[in-house]
Structure 1
Amino acid sequence: MVRARSAVLATVAVLGCLALSTPASAVTARPAAATALPVVDMEAVVLAAQIDPRRADNTHTPGATDSVLAVERALQARNLLDAKWVDGYFGTTTVAAYAAYQRSLGYSGLAANGLPGTSSLTALGQGRYTVTHTIGPGAKVTRDGHTVNTRTQAMLTEAERLLGLHLTLSQGSYNPGGDPSSAGTHDGGGVVDVSVTGMSAATRTAVAKALRQVGFAAWVRNPDQGDWPWHIHAAAISDTDLSTQAQNQTGDYYLGFNGLANHGADDGPKVPIQTWEDYQRTH
């Protein structure tokens, strides 16, 4: 028993000496947990980029502040946005900075319109944030002889289902240099004019309502408002190919205006305002 106890004590002593002689650099430390990157909600950022520049104050778009801040910090890090504008408000200065970033990637035209697209938003966020709820216009297709994108096409198809009637376009999207009375709203994607030939006043209103339900900013236009015939003008909210003029219209729609240069009160049917993506989540 004495010998066994002595052997145990000797072993403990040896282990203790080894521990004391082991250099600190040889001790493997447990790696620290990686810091999670902020998450940027693309839907929220794109919506803010349409609404915020049209506000008379600097009120933030609900649900977008944290995402906008992450984007603005990334723009500031690239010396494209002064620190005083990093405030969670995607106003005209941030739109201009984002457009400059898009141009720095080699984009031009609609791809450098200041509305974040999936590719540019993801590239800007490398190592800074991750992107969720990505959206895009899709490919260009033909409808009634006019060009639209697949997102707009899907929205129109759903509006037709709600109405139980076919909607015929009198003007499509991606139509620069088209009808001058459109003031550039049809230069990009997401914007269409719907023919109202043969429609009663009640049907025109019903069509505008259905278009609004699926995510368009839509109004019945009449000859008293401008140099155009009766028609329904519709701009797909958050289409990332929207021209600047169409971006302004969708922002005005959220703020209760008619989308015209006179900045009058919204004269369309009242429905809860939502995007196409909002509609899809609830139907």
Structure 2
Amino acid sequence: MSTIKRATGLLAAVATALGCLALTAASASAVTSTATALPVVDMEATVLAAQIDPRRADNTLTPGAKDSVLAVERALQARGLLDAKWVDGYFGTTTISAYAAFQRSLGYTGLAANGLPGTTSLTKLGEGRYTVTKVIGPGSKIQRDGYTINTRTQAMLTEAEHLLGRTLKLDQGSYNPGGDPTSAGTHDGGGVVDINVDGMSATTKTAVAKALRQVGFAAWVRNPTQGDWPWHIHAAAISDTDLSTQAQNQVGDYYLGFNGLANHGADDGPRIAIHTWEDYQRTH
């Protein structure tokens, strides 16, 4: 009888242990389920919408961005920064203002609080509400041709040079607030450069603008009849999260078929399928 009792006790202990393991596995599964239930914000799509939507004449949504923008807007609403009626998946001027208010609440000022989502602010806003994927950033500041740009812009320029088989020289760089009043603030932040075109034929200028567009710039050949400037190619890196507000507006206009100038004229550059630097990298 003693042996039977011991065997019975052993079986009971095993059953108890197995039960505990089952509970542990169930608990782990519940935790995993809760974590994966959080919405996912595609940063690339969200930043793109924040550039294009404010420039639209209607409330058309940026393709592929609705769910991500909704998650961001709900987080802004939860913080009392955005009314429910604006939680619509459209990253228009009201959402830009609300996001800028959130950036200021983090202590950001100036270009860092202009409503264009950056990695840190987007992640902080989403704590406990969403996760962030396809993270993008401008990289660090470096020098090129005596001007300041960032490493993302440099990589894009290098690839454009590879496509062209020629070296490009800058006439103006980024992070240059007030440096050239004719630029209307477009160079105040990151991602924007002017390319020197001295000695280039009209055909070459167009080819350079096309190569810049291929790697993810909104780029136009500028001439003296358009403003108080010499011939040059103006290029703004799409989705550079350091873009000034004026440069963001140019990118939005580019997507909508305009020339990026105050006259809001039709795009006069080489027409290609528009994509970002990240899109280009995925396909090359």
Do the two structures share a fold, i.e. TM-score over 0.5? Answer: yes
CA RMSD of aligned residues (A): 1.5
Q: Which has the larger radius of gyration?
A: 1
Aligned to 1:156: 157
Q: Does residue 132 of structure 1 match 2:124? A: no
Aligned to 1:176: 177
- Where 1:52 maps in the other structure, the secondary structure is helix
Q: Does residue 279 of structure 1 match 2:280? A: yes
CA-CA distance at 1:178 after TM superposition: 1.0
Aligned to 1:52: 53
- Equivalence map 1:210-249=2 (5 Å): 210-249=211-250
TM-score, L = length of structure 2: 0.89
* Partners of 1:178 and 1:134 in 2: CA distance: 31
- Where 1:122 maps in the other structure, the secondary structure is helix
CA-CA distance at 1:110 after TM superposition: 1.7
- Equivalence map 1:40-119=2 (5 Å): 40-119=41-120
CA-CA distance at 1:113 after TM superposition: 1.6
* Partners of 1:110 and 1:191 in 2: CA distance: 14
* Partners of 1:229 and 1:75 in 2: CA distance: 44
Which amino acid counterpart does residue 108 of structure 2 have in structure 1? Answer: Y
* Partners of 1:270 and 1:120 in 2: CA distance: 34
| CA-to-aligned-CA distance 1:151-174 (integer Å, 9 cap, x gap) | 000000000000000000000000
CA-CA distance at 1:48 after TM superposition: 0.1
Identity %: 84
Give the ranges of 4+ consecutive aligned residues of structure 1 lying more than 6 Å apart after TM superposition.
none
Which amino acid counterpart does residue 112 of structure 1 have in structure 2? Answer: A
* Partners of 1:238 and 1:245 in 2: CA distance: 13
Corresponding pairs, count: 259
* Structure 1: segments with no counterpart, 5+ residues: 1-10, 16-27
Aligned to 1:252: 253
Which amino acid counterpart does residue 269 of structure 2 have in structure 1? Answer: G
- Where 2:132 maps in the other structure, the secondary structure is strand
Aligned to 2:166: 165
* Structure 2: segments with no counterpart, 5+ residues: 1-7, 13-22
Deviates more, 1:192-201 or 1:111-120: 111-120
More helix by share: 2
Which amino acid counterpart does residue 161 of structure 2 have in structure 1? Answer: E
- Where 2:267 maps in the other structure, the secondary structure is coil
TM-score, L = length of structure 1: 0.89
- Where 2:274 maps in the other structure, the secondary structure is coil
* Partners of 2:248 and 2:117 in 1: CA distance: 12
Which amino acid counterpart does residue 119 of structure 1 have in structure 2? Answer: T
- Where 1:198 maps in the other structure, the secondary structure is coil
